[in-house]
Chain A
């Protein structure tokens, strides 16, 4: 990597209202993003409900290459560890999830490690006597991540010990975790119904810049909306099953005015959501059995308050997006400058009837599946960006919409739902992480 040259140019790449195309194209900049953004921010690892019992583990990469595992200790605490043997460096676990039998055991020389990563036993240990090797040195453990913490079951970790604590870092966007969990009559959610993985041949930033780009749905998703309208208009209006699909697909054709009214709220560290008062999910029907469970738990007023916080997409920059009203999340796992994987996980609202999870899964299939009629059209335009930006006819990608009209409040900035406030919020964080600029 030509670091000095890149370093000198970094400051020139992101302006208040435009971004240089190289942030999407240059492999050296990608490497720096991995080091400075993904290597510093809190990255979503998984949910505690994925590892309910002692010894249960879940593995992933925290950036484009660093393997980590999340494991439930004997004391029931969660640990997030580097998935790398302390001996020669072999990856300890390859399964995406599972349960350790007694201890972690490296498949190469058989070193074993406790649930919390501490070294348990080295075969033929006497060979290390009087060699200067210290069995009790913590460097011989599976190494914990520099920081890990969870909020309402959502486990994050950071490769940096300099990042402020998780709650501070989440800021006002923490409301979205609360709202998601409060939508459960028992106040908790759990991962349910498995995962979809979707390979994207493009830069990782395109998807998070598209999340709250409300100027695109009526264009990119026009075909599926019109196709659904055309077919549904031939049916009896009271067919309930058809209504649920219509309820999910048709709002993607909502007007500019509707999206403008939903508003966008930005926070430090690049987080933001659109909606809050209204969103494209605002007019979903409420299932009577679910509603009753909510009223029983929270009472009418609080229940209506929970429903009314109606966000569309929340981004916890750079790795996690949440749909509170849908109860699914998408997790960004970067691979290379022009490749990333999106995982879609669904949640069960504890205490809610199965129909709620089934609706979540229907949504994920209809919108987020690689075989849906929505996700592939989004990916197609990201790929067109990746391909089109190779042209040197201009160096810039603009983000001017409603610039200068944002309202700066104490802990957040708010603006119109069709503004580029979401993207500007991300690039403010980008400059913070990449250039060391103050965030607050």
Chain B
């Protein structure tokens, strides 16, 4: 009997990045647990997402709204195409959360093309990954920009 190949952490992160490169939010959201969250803090060492402002702190509700908005024909900011290329490197295992999710840190460089301009984002990802029978699911993804306090131009897709 052939055992189906098991996706490694690296392969999973690359697949997630590919969905974002392809702006395939439908597939991307499916990588999260039902109670999964996505967090882009607005400062270094930000203690929590609730009592300090963030660029993004989305749960499934907001991911679902964004997914619909992203393909809505009447969103003015989305009438210009967006293209990203994610590079993920320096992937390292950082132990487990108290409820047993694997904590994975990695570095990212993202080049994004939007509205006739090429922009660069860089920083560190932290993924909390649940292992399930069907593979990994993201319980939490934190996007720590190297310049979280800088004035940002419109960020119209998840990094």
Which residues does A use to contact B, with CB under 8 Å? 96, 192-199, 201, 219-220, 222-224, 226-228, 230-232, 235, 241-242, 245, 249, 341, 344, 346, 354, 357-358, 361, 364-366, 369-371, 373, 375-377, 379-381, 383-384
Chain A residue nearest to B54 in the complex (CB): A365
A197–B54 CA distance with the chains assembled, in angstroms: 11
Known contacts A194-B43, A198-B151; decide if A361 and B61 are in contact (CB<8 Å). no
A370–B76 CA distance with the chains assembled, in angstroms: 14
Taking the closest CB of chain B, its distance from the CB of A139, in whole angstroms, is 34
A223–B75 CA distance with the chains assembled, in angstroms: 5
Chain A to chain B contacts (Cβ below 8 Å), 11 pairs: A193-B53, A194-B43, A194-B53, A197-B151, A198-B152, A199-B151, A231-B68, A241-B61, A369-B53, A373-B69, A380-B76
Quick check: is B88 within 8 A (CB to CB) of the other chain?
no
Taking the closest CB of chain A, its distance from the CB of B147, in whole angstroms, is 10
Whether A199 pairs with B152 at a CB distance below 8 angstroms is: yes
A157–B75 CA distance with the chains assembled, in angstroms: 39
A381–B62 CA distance with the chains assembled, in angstroms: 23
- Determine the chain A residues whose CB is within 8 A of the CB of B76 once the complex forms: 220, 377, 380-381, 384
Within 8 Å by CB of A245, from B61, B69, B73, lies B61
- Determine the chain B residues whose CB is within 8 A of the CB of A230 once the complex forms: 68
Which residues does B use to contact A, with CB under 8 Å? 40, 42-43, 46, 50-57, 59, 61-62, 64-66, 68-69, 72-79, 115, 149-156
Whether A224 pairs with B64 at a CB distance below 8 angstroms is: no
- Determine the chain A residues whose CB is within 8 A of the CB of B40 once the complex forms: 371
A370–B156 CA distance with the chains assembled, in angstroms: 8
Taking the closest CB of chain A, its distance from the CB of B93, in whole angstroms, is 29
Whether B51 pairs with A357 at a CB distance below 8 angstroms is: yes
Whether B77 pairs with A197 at a CB distance below 8 angstroms is: no
Whether B65 pairs with A228 at a CB distance below 8 angstroms is: yes
- Determine the chain B residues whose CB is within 8 A of the CB of A377 once the complex forms: 75-77
Chain A residue nearest to B117 in the complex (CB): A201
Within 8 Å by CB of A223, from B42, B46, B50, B74, lies B74
Chain B residue nearest to A235 in the complex (CB): B61
- Determine the chain A residues whose CB is within 8 A of the CB of B74 once the complex forms: 219, 222-223, 226
A415–B22 CA distance with the chains assembled, in angstroms: 48
Chain B residue nearest to A379 in the complex (CB): B154
Known interface pairs A198-B153, A224-B75, A369-B53; 17 further A-B residue pairs with C-beta atoms within 8 A, sorted by A's residue number = A196-B53, A224-B65, A224-B69, A226-B68, A226-B74, A227-B72, A245-B62, A245-B65, A346-B53, A361-B54, A370-B155, A371-B40, A371-B55, A371-B155, A371-B156, A380-B154, A383-B115
- Determine the chain A residues whose CB is within 8 A of the CB of B53 once the complex forms: 193-196, 344, 346, 361, 364-365, 369
- Determine the chain B residues whose CB is within 8 A of the CB of A96 once the complex forms: 149
Taking the closest CB of chain B, its distance from the CB of A223, in whole angstroms, is 4
